Structure 1
Amino acid sequence: MRTIYQLFEDAVARHGDTALTIEPDGRRLTYAAAHELTERLAGTLTALGVRPGDRVAAQVEKLPEVIALYLATLRVGAIYLPLNTAYTGSELQYFVEDARPALFVCSPGQEEDLAGRSPDGVSFVSMGPHRTGTLFEREDAPPAPPVAVEPDAPAAILYTSGTTGRSKGAVLTHRNLASNCATLTEAWRYTHDDVLIHALPIFHIHGLFVAVNMSVTTGATMHFLPKLDPQAIVDLMPGSTVLMGVPTFYTRLLRHPDVTAERTQDMRLFVSGSAPLTAETHHEWRARTGHAILERYGMTETGMMCSNPYDGERRAGTVGPPLPGISIRVVERETNTELPAGEVGSIQVAGPNVFREYWNMPEKTAEEFTDDGYFVTGDLGVFDDDGYLSIVGRDKDLIISGGYNIYPKEIEELIDGHPSVRESAVVGVPHPDLGEVPVAVVVPHGAAVDPEEILASIRPRLARFKQPRRVEFADELPRNVMGKIQKAALRQEHAALFQQAPTGPKS
């Protein structure tokens, strides 16, 4: 098995003069230049004391240099740990204490603050645009040779949360990353000739381990946008071939009058994932552009598991059949008995894409796998007679907003700490742009409370995408006979909060 790093070196040998990234200002980073930078950063990591098996954490803005940092980490046999740029200092503290990275790469000016919150033994360096920051002050370090790694050695840790509120570090191996990349490259016909519009973050599976991995291993080019910018995406469509996004990308692009069949005629593939795509968006996109969005299904612990076909019917409301080499079954939750097509059950998956373990959580790891080695996803789904899987719900109260996972327990604990709050429940409600957004239902301590006061109290400790869009008040939270809060009733009660007002007929 060739690792992601080895496949990158293969691409450099074949396509050294090709642009790996093109930034909005026109700056281009070729494969040859990216390889040179990767070699130098690998030497810097080694000079800073990073050894095989060490963790290298990164919380930096989206830059082409971050791709070189990721590849350099793999080159020296260390473990890459990307972190959401929206995480606050108090949130980061948990990740640093749990993963104990040897090196933490942050944005310039943050080193001192982060070091003051962190345990001993963690070194902090910075990385900014145009190769600024303290990480680049050690460029005189001699290049470090590639370290041979076992296929099942850890390559990365991505943190994912559970409803208990404690984040879990999913350990992904070199085999996990390389096998999933190879499967997707074949399934989606991705080649050196592709030009990807990359507007996703690079701290999660979709933006990094799907979009970037597929590009650096094939010699493809990425238009590297710092964030979702519908106008920039529309402007780049002529001459580009692929867009990978979350449903929010497509709902916002559909508002743009220039999204037409003519504008998208050079594009061959539109991919959507990380959250459910509505059938309405699927049909409207096809009517406007002539392209059927390819929806797929994956998660942090598994990479991509299912995909609608490249050739063949892409069915709205489904995530397609399992990808080659990956086994998915839908089972009855209590008995673990596999269910036939048409029956809803718990989704379980096995294959070379499935993560190795949760970092430092052997008991939790054991709980999430069946006796015969299947990972229990926590999602509920149903196969149709043709083998297409539909996701119909979640066992847990996960909220997916704009492609980001939000776990209510974390928000509830902060709200419940407010002196005027007796208890709270956070639920996801439908939103026309983001899919769903968190809403807090609060039971106050008698006297009236200002909703803004509650929101202001949690803002410094919570990433912006996790912050509730509304606070609603209730005298009591609905409960069943066992005393469990009935979140389904709350979701139903507040489902219309963000519905758009009906509009008259178009002229």
Structure 2
Amino acid sequence: MTDLAKTAEGQATGKPWLGSYPASVPAEISPLEHDSLGTFFEDSCRKFASRTAFSSMGRTLSFRELEEGSAKIGAWLQAQGLSKGDRVAVMLPNILQNPVIVYGILRAGYTVVNVNPLYTPRELQHQLQDSGARIIFVLENFANTVEQVAGKTPVEKVVVATMGDMLGLKGLIVNFVVRRIKKLVPAWSIPGHLSFNAVMKAGGSLSLKPMDVTLSDVAFLQYTGGTTGVSKGATLTHSNLLSNLKQLSVWLDQIFDGRERPEAMVFICPLPLYHIFALTVNSLMGVAMGGHNVLIANPRDIPAFLKEMKAHKAHILPGLNTLFTAMMNNEAFKEIDFSSLFLTFGGGMAVQRPVAERWREMTGCPITEGYGLSETSPVATANRLDAAEFSGMIGLPISSTDIEIRDDDGVTLPLGEVGEICIRGPQVMAGYWQRPEETARAITPDGFFRSGDMGMMDERGYIKIVDRKKDMILVSGFNVYPNEIEEVAAMHPGVLECAAIGVADEHSGEAVKLVVVKRDQALTEAELKAHCAKHLTNYKRPRIIEFRSELPKSNVGKILRKDLRD
């Protein structure tokens, strides 16, 4: 379809974003080719058998080895008396065992429950009870947490992995360092547990049986962060994930308009695979494209992370604002060759303009911001990949996705007005796991998911996210959005990171408080307030500024305003 035809269609259908689509991107995705993630995975492994699929700590795993390892896991699971659709929890960081186990669960016909390894016992117990997971795979570093709660959950079997399990002889050294030198493995005792290696050996003598899995079956229970209350399981079907994968694939085609496509793309994977962003954009996209995912087990160890970056000429790097900042503030960043990098994809939280501009200056590659949630598998919008500049917006609804900006009564607002971002598309979850009332509140009768995020759409169909409803600050009846305050503060060269929250104020109801981590230790409260006064109207200016050595963050690196408010 020509650009002119897309524009006309957009005007006729009330979808102005279609007129802003690149020529190579269709308005709708074509029908799915696979009936499950398992068959999709098997086809890719056959097609790309000799290529490297994942690497970690110097050890590579080919697609052939990935297929063989996942078959062993799947066959062992099928021998444990599970029924189709039963839940299996995975509590692992970015190590080679993670994709082997996850794809094994999917191929065997079960549902993956991704678990944050740094969960407290209380958080883990809730997730295991809520999901009904019968088996859990856990790294020994976190087995102590499982020990404290396993008996209070439906878990019947615990499989414990070590960092070195898939690293060959090097694994012995890695395990020694992890246990004895760095002392990263708290004492634990789980009677009847099995080792990952024992499970792989047992699975090797069994055959993986084909399972009758359909597109409507549940592939993942992806638990929300709980920032809006109790953590809920977003029920993601095989269709949801395969649809989002196809949507991303056609969006990615823009990059290759006039550019040679590399035979095997290199993805850097610093975000945790248990998070929906990395699960789809790294793992699933990598498998679909026959790409090589470089797994970063601990992205907070910036020197080690940058050493991996230097060793692999990356094509695609998904990340967050905080991660980009931390990378650029390390001297080793300047030694990396970014000539092959053609996509830096920012998500998870707002990318600040000063960070994006500095990234472009240092790497030559702009940050392309997108938007999504666990409930949307995750990507719902993205900026054009051929854009030369950072837009400060979350982009356009991707193919087969409708977005409306609605008020509290569910009425669609005119272009340019701020309301709740509501999303409809094949990537939107089936609902919240065993929570029909929550599902009814979140998904409208006409199929739109209410994101809880406030935004506006311009006449071109581009969307700007303003803030989460719950983070909005009300000052004397005026809405103040933390993202705006933070972006202004981040423009000051003395600010490393910051977060804006509302605090009670007897005169205005709420006032803005800014919590700041300094880049320049000489920065003063008066200096920063004067800077904000230049760029913000009076009611938006921080009344209180607090300096800290660090900000509370989720495991993905997202700043937790909720913790600051608490």
Q: TM-score, normalised by structure 2?
A: 0.70
* Alignment match of 2:164 (pick from 130, 154, 169): 130
Maintained 8 Å contact 2:125/2:150: no
What's the secondary structure of 1:495's corresponding residue?
Answer: strand
What's the secondary structure of 1:301's corresponding residue?
Answer: helix
* Alignment match of 1:143 (pick from 207, 210, 221): 207
Could you tell me how far apart the structure 2 residues matched to 1:112 and 1:338 are?
Answer: 46
How far did 1:135 drift? 3.4
Match of 2:344 in 1: 270
Match of 1:332 in 2: 407
How far did 1:499 drift? 5.1
Q: Any residues of structure 2 matched to 1:312-331 within 5 Å, and which?
A: 312-331=387-406
Match of 1:416 in 2: none
Match of 2:246 in 1: 182
Maintained 8 Å contact 1:332/1:338: yes
How far did 1:240 drift? 2.0
In the alignment, structure 1 residue 198 sits paired with structure 2 residue 269: yes
Could you tell me how far apart the structure 2 residues matched to 1:21 and 1:163 are?
Answer: 32
What's the secondary structure of 1:140's corresponding residue?
Answer: helix
Q: Any residues of structure 2 matched to 1:18-167 within 5 Å, and which?
A: 18-24=51-57, 26-108=58-140, 109-110=143-144, 113-114=147-148, 116-120=150-154, 122-131=156-165, 134-138=195-199, 139-141=201-203, 142-162=206-226, 165-167=229-231
Maintained 8 Å contact 2:235/2:429: yes
* Alignment match of 1:243 (pick from 317, 322, 325): 317
Could you tell me how far apart the structure 2 residues matched to 1:215 and 1:116 are?
Answer: 34
1:354-377, Cα deviation, whole Å (9 max, x unpaired): 000101100110111112110100
What's the secondary structure of 1:342's corresponding residue?
Answer: coil
Could you tell me how far apart the structure 1 residues matched to 2:507 and 2:230 are?
Answer: 25
In structure 2, the CA distance between the partners of 1:121 and 1:496, relative to structure 1 (3 Å rule), is closer
Could you tell me how far apart the structure 2 residues matched to 1:396 and 1:503 are?
Answer: 34
In structure 1, list runs of 5 or more residues that go unmatched: 400-426, 442-476
How far did 1:233 drift? 4.7
Match of 1:470 in 2: none
Maintained 8 Å contact 1:314/1:320: no
Maintained 8 Å contact 2:500/2:515: no
In structure 2, the CA distance between the partners of 1:386 and 1:171, relative to structure 1 (3 Å rule), is same
How far did 1:208 drift? 1.2
* Alignment match of 1:214 (pick from 269, 279, 285): 285
Could you tell me how far apart the structure 1 residues matched to 2:215 and 2:411 are?
Answer: 32
What's the secondary structure of 1:349's corresponding residue?
Answer: strand
1:195-220, Cα deviation, whole Å (9 max, x unpaired): 01111111111111221110112210
Could you tell me how far apart the structure 2 residues matched to 1:120 and 1:332 are?
Answer: 41
Maintained 8 Å contact 1:157/1:171: yes
Match of 2:383 in 1: 308
What's the secondary structure of 2:83's corresponding residue?
Answer: coil
Could you tell me how far apart the structure 2 residues matched to 1:33 and 1:163 are?
Answer: 38
Q: In the alignment, residue 329 of structure 1 is paired with which amino acid?
A: E
Match of 1:170 in 2: 234
Maintained 8 Å contact 2:222/2:233: yes
Could you tell me how far apart the structure 2 residues matched to 1:164 and 1:496 are?
Answer: 21
**Identity over aligned residues, as a percent?**
27
In structure 2, the CA distance between the partners of 1:262 and 1:44, relative to structure 1 (3 Å rule), is closer
How far did 1:227 drift? 2.0
Match of 1:348 in 2: 422
How far did 1:268 drift? 1.3
Match of 2:25 in 1: none
Could you tell me how far apart the structure 2 residues matched to 1:349 and 1:356 are?
Answer: 13
Q: Any residues of structure 2 matched to 1:394-409 within 5 Å, and which?
A: 394-397=468-471
What's the secondary structure of 1:167's corresponding residue?
Answer: coil
In the alignment, structure 1 residue 495 sits paired with structure 2 residue 514: yes
1:10-36, Cα deviation, whole Å (9 max, x unpaired): 221121111111223x21111101100
What's the secondary structure of 2:90's corresponding residue?
Answer: strand
Could you tell me how far apart the structure 1 residues matched to 2:395 and 2:242 are?
Answer: 22
Maintained 8 Å contact 1:115/1:124: no
Could you tell me how far apart the structure 2 residues matched to 1:117 and 1:217 are?
Answer: 39
Could you tell me how far apart the structure 2 residues matched to 1:262 and 1:101 are?
Answer: 43
In structure 2, list runs of 5 or more residues that go unmatched: 1-31, 167-193, 256-261, 474-481, 524-566
Q: Any residues of structure 2 matched to 1:371-410 within 5 Å, and which?
A: 371-397=445-471
How far did 1:342 drift? 1.6
Maintained 8 Å contact 1:4/1:217: no
Pick which of 127-136 and 164-173 moved more.
Answer: 127-136
Maintained 8 Å contact 2:125/2:149: no
1:34-71, Cα deviation, whole Å (9 max, x unpaired): 10000000011112223211000111232111101111
Could you tell me how far apart the structure 1 residues matched to 2:116 and 2:432 are?
Answer: 18
1:305-344, Cα deviation, whole Å (9 max, x unpaired): 000111235543111111111111112223x222232211
Pick which of 293-302 and 139-148 moved more.
Answer: 139-148
In structure 2, the CA distance between the partners of 1:496 and 1:479, relative to structure 1 (3 Å rule), is same
Could you tell me how far apart the structure 1 residues matched to 2:464 and 2:228 are?
Answer: 26
Maintained 8 Å contact 1:163/1:396: no
Q: In the alignment, residue 429 of structure 2 is paired with which amino acid?
A: F
In structure 2, the CA distance between the partners of 1:256 and 1:249, relative to structure 1 (3 Å rule), is same
Q: In the alignment, residue 18 of structure 1 is paired with which amino acid?
A: R
Q: In the alignment, residue 184 of structure 1 is paired with which amino acid?
A: L
What's the secondary structure of 1:90's corresponding residue?
Answer: helix
Greater helix proportion = 2
1:431-477, Cα deviation, whole Å (9 max, x unpaired): 855653889x8xxxxxxxxxxxxxxxxxxxxxxxxxxxxxxxxxxx4
Q: In the alignment, residue 353 of structure 1 is paired with which amino acid?
A: Q
Match of 2:358 in 1: 284
Q: In the alignment, residue 89 of structure 1 is paired with which amino acid?
A: P
What's the secondary structure of 2:397's corresponding residue?
Answer: coil
What's the secondary structure of 1:209's corresponding residue?
Answer: helix
In the alignment, structure 1 residue 5 sits paired with structure 2 residue 38: yes
Maintained 8 Å contact 1:93/1:117: no
Could you tell me how far apart the structure 1 residues matched to 2:145 and 2:226 are?
Answer: 29
How far did 1:129 drift? 2.5
Maintained 8 Å contact 2:499/2:514: no
In structure 2, the CA distance between the partners of 1:360 and 1:276, relative to structure 1 (3 Å rule), is same
Could you tell me how far apart the structure 2 residues matched to 1:437 and 1:93 are?
Answer: 32
Q: TM-score, normalised by structure 1?
A: 0.78
Match of 1:467 in 2: none
How far did 1:137 drift? 1.3
Q: In the alignment, residue 514 of structure 2 is paired with which amino acid?
A: A
